[in-house]
Structures are given as C-alpha cells and as structure tokens.
Amino acid sequence: MTLMVPRRVEPPASRDNNGDMSDSLDDLWSLAGRRALVTGASRGIGLAITRALCERGAEVRMVARGRERLAAAAAELASAGFEVQPWAADITDPDSRSAMLEAFDGPLDILVNNAGHNIRKPALDYSESELRGILETNLVAGFELARAAHPALKASGSASLVNVSSVAGLTHLRTGAPYAMSKAAMNQMTRNLAAEWAADGIRVNAVAPWYIDTPLARQVLDDADFLAEVLARTPLRRIGRPEEAAAAVTFLCLPGAGYITGQTLAVDGGFSTFGF
C-alpha cells in the first residue's frame, strides 16, 4: 500500500473575527498587544487563565474581591515580566462593575467571566438569599459585565468573551441545583450572545470543566471516598489541572479560534461522554 503524504499547505492566518488575512502563521497563536479582563483571577482557574493569556502576550486586568491575595498574585506575575493590573472589586456590585470598566480606557479584546461561587445542598434546603447569591455571582454578574463591556469589546473589532461554565450545566451532578442552573443558563447565554454579537466582531464561547484541582474543588476532593467516585467516572482517571482549563480558555481567545463562536467546550477528562 502506498501512503499518500499530502503536501503541507500553510493555512492563511486570520487576524480578526472577519477573517482578514495576515502573512504569519504565528499570528494565529499570539495575543500580543491584546487587552484582557479576567474575573476571579486571584487563585485557581482564573489565576491560571491570567498567566496563560500573559504567556501568549496579553496584558491582563485581574479582578477579585480579596485585595491581599490579588495583590500577591499580581506581584508574582509582574515579577515574572508579565503585564498585569490587580483590580479589587465584587462583580456582583453594579457600581464596582462600572468602575472597573470605566477605569479600563479604550478597547477590550478579551473578557473572561470566571468568578464563581457555590453552596452544596439538597434543593429543598436553600434559602432564597442563597439561591439568589449563587445566580447573582455565576450568571447575572457575568451577563451584566458582558453587556457593560460591549462597547469596549466592539471597539476591539476582534474580541473574545469566554464564560467559565461547568459540566454541571450539562447534566446532573452533586453540586446542588442552583449552581447547575446558573451554569446551564450561562451556556445558553453563550449561544445567544454569540449570535447577537457576531456582527460586532465579538466571539462568545464557554469552557465547561469537570473537577479541576483548585481551592473550590478541594472542599469536596479532600474526601478520599468522594475523590475515588469522581475518578471512577472520569475516563482519563485523574483530576484536571487549572492550567488545562486555562489552556482551553486561552485557545478560544486566540486569532486561531477566529471561526469558533457559540460553543461550550468541555474540559472534563471524558466525563461528559462517558456512558456505561
């Protein structure tokens, strides 16, 4: 049998969401000169996303509530030579959201809605304020931030909005219903905004992780029996690393992902496709 080796054809590099072409393939994998805002950036997945975006060349405004941890995380990245600015804010507070965007003068190329919150309980045990608190952080704040950032994202001409969702938004998990509801709605928000804002040069995608080793997940993964159950349901038989969730987010921000919008990408070791 003769093996046909196709001649390697350099694909044209796309510099923006309109498919305009540039000469260099490297451009597909670069975020040089891009300005990003990442919520929940002081630890866990958000911190890994910040580092990954910086490593591709972006300048990142890091948002979280706790000033000390945020400042320490930003200082560590700055000392590694990355361009970061810490911005202490509660994303559920409308005034804080406005201030954070006003201070960010000029176009915004990347917005990552990553900050999230959960309380695990049976559905009947949630108080209304607990339910509203989860929906407020995980869904309403991200939607409002995206809407408020729309002019700056549109001004970019080639913007990427990435929502950090969860496989809990795809199927039942033991996270509690409000968290799952918030993430399922986030997935639909991703599809709707992708369709509405495509004409404005804004791509909108989501990343849906299964268990990733962060302080949030450690609350349950420190239970050895629970961890064993999680691993038994994960074809790759391990917990994900923050860098792996961050890599998926970063990919969706790259010019190379310029024809991808409206998608929810599971970063889950195969969990969501694992039947019996």
Ligand X SMILES: NC(=O)c1ccc[n+]([C@@H]2O[C@H](COP(=O)([O-])OP(=O)(O)OC[C@H]3O[C@@H](n4cnc5c(N)ncnc54)[C@H](OP(=O)(O)O)[C@@H]3O)[C@@H](O)[C@H]2O)c1
Judged by the rule CB under 6 A, the positions of this chain that interact with ligand X are: 39-46, 63-66, 69, 90-92, 114-117, 137, 164, 166, 209, 211-212, 214-217
Closest separation in Å from C-beta 261 to ligand X: 20
Cα separation, 196 vs 163, whole angstroms: 16
| Cα–Cα distance list, 16 to 10, 19, 34, 110, 189 (Å) | 18, 6, 12, 13, 23
- C-beta closer to ligand X: residue 214 or 250: 214
CA–centroid distance for 8 within its chain:
33
Give yes or no: 211 in active site: no
- Which of 126, 179, 211, 259 is catalytic? The answer is 179
Instruction: Kindly report the length of the chain.
Output: 276
Residue recorded with tokens 């399922």: 184
* Of 16 and 55, CB closest to ligand X: 55
Measured in whole angstroms, the distance separating CA 24 from the mean position of its chain's CA atoms is 27
The nearer residue to ligand X, 13 or 77, going by C-beta atoms, is 77
Smallest gap from Cβ 114 to ligand X, in A, equals 5
Q: Which C-beta is closer to ligand X: that of 216 or that of 260?
A: 216
Q: Which residue has the tokens 């409308």?
A: 94
Q: Which is nearer to ligand X, 13 or 111 (CB)?
A: 111
Q: Which is nearer to ligand X, 118 or 158 (CB)?
A: 118
Nearest to residue 113, comparing CAs of 170, 174, 193, 175?
193
Torsions phi, psi for 57 (to 5 deg): 110, 0
Tokens of 70: 């945020």
Per DSSP, the residues of 224-258 read: HHHHHHHHHT-TT-SPBPHHHHHHHHHHHHSGGGT
3-state helix, strand, coil in the chain (%, to 5): 50, 15, 35
**Minimum CB separation from ligand X for residue 126, in Å?**
17
Distance (Å, whole) CA 50 – CA 69: 14
Minimum distance from CB of 59 to ligand X (Å)? 19
Q: Which helix (H) or strand (E) holds 13?
A: strand 13-14
**Closest listed residue to residue 78, CA positions, set 95, 59, 93, 94:** 59
Active site residues: 179
